[in-house]
Amino acid sequence: GSSGSSGALENLQVEASCSVCLEYLKEPVIIECGHNFCKACITRWWEDLERDFPCPVC
């Protein structure tokens, strides 16, 4: 029988979202600290920086 428990899917959704745009990850990038971002989001976040690329979450 199917027990209709979809709790695991909600957890997955959190893992698969970008902390910058809060949407689903597009071209996911994992940085050193382990956080995930869309490639476009983290590129935009860092575009004015020449070094010391901080994590938007940490």
Sequence ranges of the domains in the chain: 9-46
Fold assignment, 9-46? Herpes Virus-1 (3.30.40)
The yes-or-no verdict on residue 28 having pLDDT over 80 is: yes
Confidence (pLDDT) at 38: 95
| Prediction pTM value | 0.67
CA-based end-to-end distance of the chain: 43
The yes-or-no verdict on residue 41 having pLDDT over 70 is: yes
The pair of three-digit structure tokens given for residue 8, joined into one six-digit string: 């695991």
Question: Hunting for tokens 């490639």 — which residue is that?
Answer: 39
